[in-house]
Structure formats: structure tokens, C-alpha cells
Structure 1
Amino acid sequence: MNIVIIPARGGSKRIPRKNIRHFCGKPMLAHSIETALASGVVDKVVVSTDDEAIAEVARHHGAEVPFMRPPELADDYTGTSPVVCHAIKELLGMGWSLDYCACIYATAPLLSASQVSEALHQLQQSKWDYVFTAARYSFPIQRAIMQTDSGGVVPFDAHGITQRSQDLPPAFHDAGQLYWGSCETWLDSKKHIFGANSHMLVLPDYQVQDIDTPEDWERAEMLYELIKQKTRS
């Protein structure tokens, strides 16, 4: 069985109730659930939450909530991997037969169903530990500058800042949307998502947007509508 686990805790300080706040007509969480189910490669979507209201929204939109996340895994400091590993262990304990597991964030409304299936296909056809979504930095990170305590500037990379942009290798960052791995890989603490044996599914820039502030939210809604128009045309 291939599953998607969506971490969706109740506490969100910068945008209150972010995971179930309406985004372009439906709860934010619903977008991730529906995208996973529409991919054609996912048997079940499981939402890991500590919040009954989130659980209710998840079930309404087709996900399952077979357990509630314990408080010690629902604070501001808990990473994604411990949450996914906890969910996998809970499901195995319930007798679920698990093969591949994806983590999709609750705040990934720009992710497409075809990208969910493509990432799994790449994983299954390879020896990668993980396949995850990423994006390319639009400006060479080697030419970054930092502000000093006195208000001046210093180069982040003294050598790189002297180089032409076209002579510098491209750099990428985690898109914060999708991560596929086998359930065995997720439970192996020696295998890391951002390790040498992981592979990137690189997304176009217009599909990547952190949603941490009201301004982020507004920009993400505009991108979502533009993507919908592009798809219709």
C-alpha cells in the first residue's frame, strides 16, 4: 500500500489556524488531500494531527485520521521526520501493509497530482532513498552578501562574489511540499532526506511559495489562480 502522510498540527502562530483556513475556496489542508488522491498512485491519505477540528476537516475531504498525534510531537520544535516515523509505526501497529510513503505538507496547494505520481515513479525506477520537490535559486547563492552589525556589508563567499554568474554552479533549495520514500527508508535513521542518495524533482518557480505570513498567503493565492488559468488554456 502506498500512503501519504500530511502533518497538520493545530498550533500556528504567524497565521492562526493556517491548516484549515480557507485558501481559494476550500480549507488549505483540503488541497493537499485532494492532490494526493487525484495522483492515481496513492491508496490512502493519513493526516497526523493533534487537533480535533483539523481531523474533522481531513475526514470530510477524504483523508483518514486513525490516531491523534501526541503532544510531544506537536510543538514548535518537532521536525517532520519524527512525525512521519511516528505515523508509520502507528499504522504498522494497526496491521496496515505499507510499501511507499510520501509526506505532503498541509500548506502545498500549488503541488500537482502529476508531480506526486512522477516523484514516486522516479523513486521506484531507481535506487534513490528519497525523491523530493525542490526549486532552483534564481540568483547565485555564491554571490550573496550579509549585513554586518555596524550596517556595512561583507560577501557570504569572498571567492564566489568575484565570479560571473554563468560560471557558478546552480544551487537549489527544498520546495517544502513533497517527499517520497519507502516506509523502511523513513524508519532508517541513517538515511536522510537531504543526503547524497536523494534525488530532486525540480519544480518551476511559480509553483514554489512558502506560506508563513499574510503576504505569502496572498501571493500563493494569486499563483494558484494563475496556475488554474494556465491549466484551462
Structure 2
Amino acid sequence: MKIAVIPARGGSKRIPRKNIRPFCGKPIIAYSIDAARQSGLFDEIVVSTDDEEIASLARQHGAATPFMRPKQISDDFTGTNAVVKHAISWFIERGSEISHACCIYATAPLIQDRFIREAHDRLIGSDAAFAFSITHYAFPVQRAVRLTSEGRVDSLYPEHRVTRSQDLEPAFHDAGQFYWGTTRAFLDDVPMFSSRSIGVVLPRVLVQDIDTLEDWEQAELMFRVIRSDSRATS
């Protein structure tokens, strides 16, 4: 059995009601649910929430809410892994055999089911613990600078101050969309950012972290452009 777990607590601070805020015509969480359904990979798509309104909207859009998330893992300091572990354990305690789980963030409207499938296939065909979405940095990290206390610029990597950008090693970062893992890896708290993980590279145009209202507006602009392009070429 394979499950998708979409964490969506009700107490978001920087963007109130972030997980169900309308995004280009529907609650933002609906895009994550849709991508999970369209992937065709999951026996259960579960929204883990402590909020009745979120749970109701999740069910309306095709997800299950078989439990309400306990208060002790619903605060500002609870990590994603604890939420996934709780969901996996809930099913196991009721007799289900879970082989893999995929954590999908509720605020990932640019997510595409083809990358969820790619990560699944690469994980299944390997001995890795996890497979998750990453993307290229837009600018070589080796050219990063710091500001001194006097407001002057200083190179973080002075050895690469004059290295040609094409000669620098590409760098990537977490794309913040989905995280496939084996049940054992989640339950044993295996470190995700390690050599035991596979990175599935997404185009930068499909990646936008959403932590502020400015991020939200940027994501909506990107979404509309992507949707317009897909309609023009379909």
C-alpha cells in the first residue's frame, strides 16, 4: 500500500488560512490533491490536519481525512517527518501494510503529477531511502557575497571570485513540493538530505516557495503564464 500525506494544519501565521486560501480559482490545497490523484500511484490520499474546515474542503476535493491530527504534532515547531510518521503509524495500527509514503505540501500549486511518478519510479528502482524534488539555483552559489558590518561586500568563496560560471559545479536546493520515502526510512528518522536520497530535478519555472503574500502573488503570476502556455500549445 502506498499513501500520500498532505500536511495542512490550521494555524499558519504569515499567511492566515494559507492551506485553503483561494489560489487562481480554488483552494490551494486542491492542486496537491489533484496531482496526487492524477499520478495514479496512491491507495490513499490523506490530508493530515487539526482543522475541521480544512478537513471538509479536503474531502470535497477528493482526499480522505480518516483522523484529526493530534495537538502535540500541530504546533509551529513540529517537522514534516513527525506528521508523516503519525499517518503511517495510524494505518499500520489498523492492519494496513504501508510500503511507501509521499509527503506532498499543501501549498505547491505548480506541482505536476509526472514528477511525482518519476520520483516514485526512481525510488522503487533503487536502494535509496527517499526521492524528492529539487531545482537549480538561479545564480552560481560560489559567487555569493556577504555584507560586512561596514556595509562592504566580501566574497563568500574568494577562491571562485574570477572562476568562469560555466566552470562552476551546479548547485541545487529543495523545491518544496514532494518527498517520497520508504516506510522504514520515515519511521526510523533517516536523514533526508543525505546520500541516501535521490534528487528529482524540476525546471525552475515550476518552483516557487510560498511564505509571504509577495511569494503568493508571484506564484499566481507563474501559474497563469504556465496555464496560458499549455492551452496555447495543446
Q: Is the TM-score greater than 0.5?
A: yes
Runs of 4+ in 1 over 4 A off after TM superposition: none
For the 8 Å contact 1:2–1:42, the answer to whether it is kept is: yes
Query: How many angstroms apart in 1 are the aligned matches of 2:112 and 2:14?
Result: 26
Query: How many angstroms apart in 2 are the aligned matches of 1:231 and 1:126?
Result: 33
Give the TM-score taking structure 1 as reference length. 0.96
Once the two structures are superposed, residues 198-224 of structure 1 have per-residue CA deviations (whole angstroms, 9 ceiling, x without a partner) of 111100011000111111111111111
Q: Does 1:215 align with 2:217?
A: no
Counterpart in 1 of 2:173? 173
Query: How many angstroms apart in 2 are the aligned matches of 1:161 and 1:43?
Result: 51
Counterpart in 2 of 1:231? 230
Specify every segment of 5 or more residues in structure 1 that has no aligned partner in the other structure, as ranges: none
Give the TM-score taking structure 2 as reference length. 0.95
Letter in 1 for 2:195: A
Counterpart in 2 of 1:3? 3
Q: Which moved more, 1:132-141 or 1:144-153?
A: 144-153
Query: How many angstroms apart in 2 are the aligned matches of 1:93 and 1:228?
Result: 42
Measure how far apart 1:105 and its partner are: 0.2
Counterpart in 2 of 1:196? 195
Query: How many angstroms apart in 1 are the aligned matches of 2:76 and 2:155?
Result: 32
Aligned length: 232
For the 8 Å contact 1:144–1:161, the answer to whether it is kept is: no
CA-based RMSD of the aligned residues comes to 1.2
Specify every segment of 5 or more residues in structure 2 that has no aligned partner in the other structure, as ranges: none
Query: How many angstroms apart in 2 are the aligned matches of 1:156 and 1:8?
Result: 37
Counterpart in 2 of 1:137? 137
Task: Summarize the alignment of residues 1-233 of structure 1 with structure 2, pairs less than 5 Å apart.
Answer: 1-189=1-189, 191-232=190-231, 233=233
Measure how far apart 1:108 and its partner are: 0.7
Query: How many angstroms apart in 1 are the aligned matches of 2:158 and 2:70?
Result: 46
Q: What's the % identity of the aligned pairs?
A: 51
For the 8 Å contact 1:32–1:108, the answer to whether it is kept is: yes
Letter in 2 for 1:139: F
Query: How many angstroms apart in 2 are the aligned matches of 1:74 and 1:167?
Result: 45
For the 8 Å contact 1:21–1:27, the answer to whether it is kept is: yes
Measure how far apart 1:195 and its partner are: 0.8
Once the two structures are superposed, residues 148-200 of structure 1 have per-residue CA deviations (whole angstroms, 9 ceiling, x without a partner) of 222222211221233221121000000000111111221122x2211112111
Once the two structures are superposed, residues 106-149 of structure 1 have per-residue CA deviations (whole angstroms, 9 ceiling, x without a partner) of 00110111111111011111122111000001211011001122
Letter in 2 for 1:29: I
Once the two structures are superposed, residues 72-123 of structure 1 have per-residue CA deviations (whole angstroms, 9 ceiling, x without a partner) of 2112221111111111111211222212110000001101111111110111
SS at match of 2:68: coil
